[in-house]
Every structure is written in structure tokens, then in C-alpha cells.
Amino acid sequence: MESTEESNELVIIPSMDVPLPEPTVEEGLGRWNAWKWKGVSIPQWRGILVESQAQGDEKREKYARWMLRDVLKDPRYTEDR
């Protein structure tokens, strides 16, 4: 991560609906890594959820729901059961 004056700007992460503010250098590398991981992981776990539903894999669907709801706090996730 480079230290720039632009680090306080809102950045839209691909496939996400809500722009997330990029953590500042002062917040540390750990916070930046978590922010980056969330931006990559949410679209992947959304895909896993859809795929597991189509395949009827209830165990994988339950895990994907848990990841989106409790771990990643996906702003678009809703329980559709």
C-alpha cells in the first residue's frame, strides 16, 4: 500500500454496491488488508451462495450465508428463506 494523499477518498470496489472508504495509513496495514479482502471476498461468496443453491448443497449454502452475513457483513445480503 502506498502512502498518498488520496487515501481518504471513497473507492468503489468492483461488484460491490456501497463505496467503502479506504483505510488511512494511520489505521495500519491490517485494517487495509481486511478492507481489500472484503472487497474481493463478497462477490466470490455471493457466487458460491448462488452456485450452492443451484446444486442443492445445503451445507455449502449455510456456510456461504454465514460468511456473507456474519463475517463479511455484506450490505446487500438478506435472508430469503
**What local confidence, expressed as pLDDT, does residue 1 receive?**
42
Beta strands in 1-81 (DSSP E): 10-11, 20-21
59 in a domain, yes or no?
yes
Is-above-0.75 flag for pTM? no
22 in a domain, yes or no?
no
**What local confidence, expressed as pLDDT, does residue 68 receive?**
92
56 in a domain, yes or no?
yes
Only one residue has cell 449454502, namely 61
Q: Is the pLDDT of residue 13 over 50?
A: no
18 in a domain, yes or no?
no
Question: All 3 cell numbers of residue 29?
Answer: 496495514
58 in a domain, yes or no?
yes
70 in a domain, yes or no?
yes
| Amino acid identity for residue 33 in this structure | N
The total number of structural domains in the chain stands at 1
11 in a domain, yes or no?
no
Residue 10, classed as helix, strand or coil, is strand
Rounded Cα distance between 14 and 4, Å, is 21
What is the pLDDT of the chain when averaged over all its residues? 79
The fraction of the chain above a pLDDT of 90, given in percent, is 40
**What local confidence, expressed as pLDDT, does residue 81 receive?**
53
* Domain span holding position 34: 29-75
pLDDT in tens, 33-62: 888 888 889 999 999 999 999 999 999 999
Residue 11, phi then psi, degrees to nearest 5: -120, 130
